[in-house]
Every structure is written in structure tokens, then in C-alpha cells.
Structure 1
């Protein structure tokens, strides 16, 4: 259900996905994947639906036609995404929210590679944390919990002591698989598709404060 005023969540640290959670990059992703789908005769809607929250190499490997080198194709798509920042914007209120957090208590965990993550975070004006886990840092992408578990422990906490902010099914599942509490952004999924999830539309109303060694996250009542 939508996070209501006074419904506070407690954690030691906060872990954030990037695309659809900190910033909107949907237009770029659609341009790149639709071109690739057309090149190989793939259904772009099926491809895009499956790509949400997943590493490029995982998506390309899944859909790559026989005889086509998936690694080379994934590298080419990554280059195209790094070169295209048109339409990338921060989610409303996110910059102010992140700046209110202690730097050592949050991290980014994204399916993008490090070069792409840097490009997009800079394009959206997102402040950079000390810890950013990207595609190169894990052996398995979301919904595998490796990325979130690794980020939590690098911050000095267990995954169960964190809140994972996510927008896509694969990422929400990765957070739960890690043992974290999840808070969804209603950017990729509609509110009616978020049954059973705590969710917010953006960051304009949400606040975080330190209390008894915890971060208390919620909407003031």
C-alpha cells in the first residue's frame, strides 16, 4: 500500500536502485532497445518488459539470436546508452532527500555498468555516495540478492538492517531475497501493480531522521 503519513520504517542504512528509482531514463532505454529489437527482428515490448531492473548482458544473452555474440552486442548497447543522456531527469525530491542522509548510511546498487551509472547520475544531478555497486561488481544480476547484500555489508550492516528502494520486479525481488525491507517507487509499475508493496510516488514528502542509531524513514503526519 502507499506509504501513509505516520507510517515510519526503520533501518540502519538505505540502498537505492538507479533507473526508475533515483532518476528517469526510460526514453533512453526505449530508444536503444527498440533499435536493437528492430535489428534482430525481436518484439520490442517483450524485450523492454524483460529488461527492467536487469543487467544489459543478462537481457541480451536471453534474447540474442543464435550466431550473434551476446557479449559484443551488450557492449555496443552499453556504449549507445552512455552516449545518450537526452531526457534523463531526477525523480522529484530525490536530490534533497539524499542530501539529508548521512553519507556513510546509503549506497546505490544498479544493474548498469560503472561508466553508465556515472554518466546517468551526473546527468540527473544525483549526489554520489561512497559505495556504488554496478554490473561489474556482481557475478549474478537482479533478482539475485548479491548486489544488495554486498552494498549492505560494505556499509557495515547486515542486509536485513536495510531498506531497499526499487521500481522493478527484479529489483524488488532482489531486495527481498537479500532479507531487506523494500520500498517501491511507482514509476515503472502502476499503483495497482504494487499490491502488497509499500510504495511512494516520489521523494517530495518523505523524510529521514536519525534516532537511536537508526534511520527513521517516513512521511510526517
Structure 2
């Protein structure tokens, strides 16, 4: 395989933001009497699409009320994310890819406002940005990653995906992409079961670099 592009999820993959999303979600849900914890967040929220989550957890809300809940939750997240930093080793990988002329695409379920906010904070500029809110289906459907490959004019075996949730891994693997999973929010067993061939805590892991060097 000749590697020609890197495809990244956003939250939990470029930066360890899952704990901030968890706090914002659980604060919002507590106002409706739902007292969640970390396990609840992992199993009921992480990696999902906002409208689907709200419809499932707060079915009593009208569409307009649900949208207001989402907007308030995301505003709270941005308040919490003012000092967010890239995961260790990301800058090195980013520069390594740039030096080799590899394409870089963002593929995320995040709302556009959050995505642009975090990318500005992290100082990252992608060749292409694919957001699920612009598509008929989001992760875990493979469509977002298929669209990224289409934008880059690449076959799946020419790219490498980085994800952090089982639903994100299933999306990337479903599109035929070899996928590395970051263990920032989920145990490696769940990520491997979803299809990740390598699970790493961050981008300094020597196993990632051994694999990249093996590609030549």
C-alpha cells in the first residue's frame, strides 16, 4: 500500500475533548432529571449524532426545544474547551505527513461551529472537511469516510483513518479504511472489536511509527 492521505476524526482524536463533552452533556441532561455517569456517556452518547441522542434520551422535547438543548450544550462545551491542546505527538505526525505530501482530511460528527472552533484553537488546516451534518447519514455509517475518499480521489487502501470511538471505527472500517484507534475515551478491547487494527494512547506510540516506517 502506498499511503497518500491521513483521515482524522476530531473529538478524542485530535485532542482529548471527550471529558469536556461528557461534562456538558451530563450537566444539560441533569436539568431533565437524568443523572448520568461516565459509563452512561460512553454507551449512550459518545460517537453519536446530536439530534439522534436528544430524540432518544429526551423524547418529550419538540424539535425546536431539542435544537435549543443542542445549542446550549455545544455553547457550554466551547466554554470548557478554551485551553484545549492537541494530543501528544500530533504535531509531529502532522508535519511528517506534510513533508511527504500526504493529504489530510477531517471526518467528524461534530457540529460545524464546534469543528471550526477547535481547529482554530489547535491551529490545524485540513485539505478537506467532511461533517456528518452535511450528509444524509453520519457515523457509524461509512458514508462520511467514503465522501472524504471521494474528495481526495483515493482508494481506501491509500489512506489511514484515526478514530477514538467504536462508532467512528465502524464508519472508517466500513468504508474499507485501515483504522488506528486512540484510547482517549474507550477501552482498546471495544475499539479493536469494532475493527481497529492498532489501538494507541496518543501519537507518540512507537507501534504507530513502526507501522508507518514499514510502509517505506
Task: Please tell me the TM-score bracket, short chain as reference.
Answer: 0.7 to 0.9
| Equivalent-residue separation in structure 2 for 1:176 and 1:218 (angstroms) | 22
Q: Give yes or no for the alignment of 1:190 onto 2:195.
A: no
Partner of 1:3: none
Instruction: Structure 2: state its 5+ residue gaps.
Output: none
Measured after TM superposition, the shift of residue 73 of structure 1 is 1.9
Question: Per the alignment, in what secondary structure is the counterpart of residue 52 of structure 2?
Answer: helix
What are the ranges of 5 or more consecutive residues in structure 1 without an aligned counterpart? Answer: 1-8, 209-215
Do 1:168 and 1:188's aligned partners in 2 also have CA atoms closer than 8 Å?
Answer: yes
Instruction: Tell which deviates more after alignment, 179-188 or 47-56.
Output: 47-56
* Cα distance in 2 for residues equivalent to 1:67 and 1:200: 39
- The CA deviation string for residues 36-76 of structure 1, in whole angstroms up to 9 with x for no partner, is 12011224236512221222222222211314432232222
CA contact (8 A) 1:149 1:158 kept: no
TM-score, normalising length from structure 1? Answer: 0.80
Q: Is the 8 A contact 2:103 2:127 kept in 1?
A: no
The 8 Å contact of residues 121 and 127 in structure 1, kept in 2 or not, is answered as yes
Distance 2:189 2:67 in 1: 36
CA distance in 2, matches of 1:42, 1:108: 32
Alignment root-mean-square deviation, CA: 2.5
Per-residue Cα deviation, 1:2-24 (whole angstroms, up to 9, x for no partner): xxxxxxx7533221111111101
Aligned residue pairs: how many? Answer: 204
1:13 alignment counterpart = 5
Q: Which structure shows the bigger proportion of residues in helix conformation? A: 2
Separation (CA, whole Å) in 2 of partners of 1:195 and 1:110 = 20
The CA distance in 2 between the partners of 1:157 and 1:182, in whole Å, is 16
